[in-house]
Amino acid sequence: MASRVEILNEGGFRSDGRRQYELRDITIDLTQQGLADGSAIVTHGLTQVQVSVFGPREAKMRSQTIHDRANINVEINIAAFSTGERRRRGKGDKRMLDMAASIKTTIEPVIQTSLYPRSQIDIFVQVLQQDGGLLQACINATTLALANAGIPLYDFVCAVTGGVHAASPLLDLTTLEENDIPHVTVATMPRTGKVTLVTLETRLHVDRFEEIFALACHAGQVIHREMKSAVCAKTGELVAAMETGHVHPTGGDIADDNDQRMDF
C-alpha cells in the first residue's frame, strides 16, 4: 500500500525539510510555573508539553504510602486544543492511562526515592500541542521538571522516537510519519548507557529494529546535551542570584540540591 504522504523524497528530505537523522528544534523553559516545586516546558518541533512537579510531600491517602520510599504519582491531561481530534479525552481514557504508566515506569528508576520514605511525588503532565513524539516529549520534560524541583536523580532520562520508511531509518517523527511508518520510542540513561524504556506500538522487522534502536540511543546523547545545558544554565542563574543577595522567584534551595546532584 502506497504512503498517503511523501515521507522521504528523492533528495533525501522529509516532509518538513529535515534529513533522515535530523532532530527537530528543541526548546526548554525552566521558568517556575504557579505553585509547583519544579516545572518545565519542552517543545520538540510543534509538540509542546508542560510538566509540574509537587513534592516530596505527605501522601493524601494512607493506601498510597510506602514505608521505605516515595510513591510516584503521574497524571496526564491532553488539552482539547492540542490536537485535531474531535473526541475529548477524560482522565480515564485508556491511552492517557497507558502513557502515564509508561512515564512512571521510565522515570521511577532514576529518582532516589529511598531518600523520601512515606512521601509522595506528584507529576502532572499537560500536553499543549501535538505533532508526533508525544511520549518522548513527556519523558524529557518530566526529567527536567524533577531536576528543577531539586529532587535527586541518578541520571537524566532522554527519549526519542525512531521509525523506518522502506529501508530508511528516521528519527524524531512527526504525526504524519508516525501514522504511516512503524516506529519505536527509546528512553536511555546517558551516563550509564542503560535503557529504561522501549515501546513499540506497530510491527517492525527485527533486522530494522537493531539499527533504529542504535540510532535512537545515539540521538539520546544529543538530547542529553541540550537538557544538561538548560539545567546548568538555570542552576547558574540561581547561584548568581544567591551570591548577589537577591531572592530569586524560584527560590534558592533548588540551586543547593542541583550543585550536589548535577555530576552526570
d(CA 49, CA 51): 7
**Residue 28: what pLDDT?**
98
- Considering only 53-62, 98-107, 136-145, which range has the smallest mean pLDDT? 53-62
In this model, does residue 243 exceed pLDDT 90? no
Q: What are 139's strand-pairing partners?
A: none
Fold of 26-261: Ribosomal Protein S5; domain 2 (3.30.230)
Domain chopping of the chain, boundaries: 26-261
- Give the 3-state secondary structure of 25-72: CEEEECCCCCCCCEEEEEEECCEEEEEEEEEEECCCCHHHCCCCCCEE
Cis peptide before 56 (omega within 30 of 0): yes
CA angle 131, 191, 172 (to 5 degrees): 15
Highest mean pLDDT: which of 78-82, 94-98, 100-104?
Answer: 100-104
Cβ of 133: how many Cβ atoms within 10 Å? Answer: 29
Average pLDDT over residues 115-122: 96
By mean pLDDT, which of 102-111, 214-223, 246-255 is the weakest?
246-255
β-bridge partners, 129: 48
pTM: 0.88
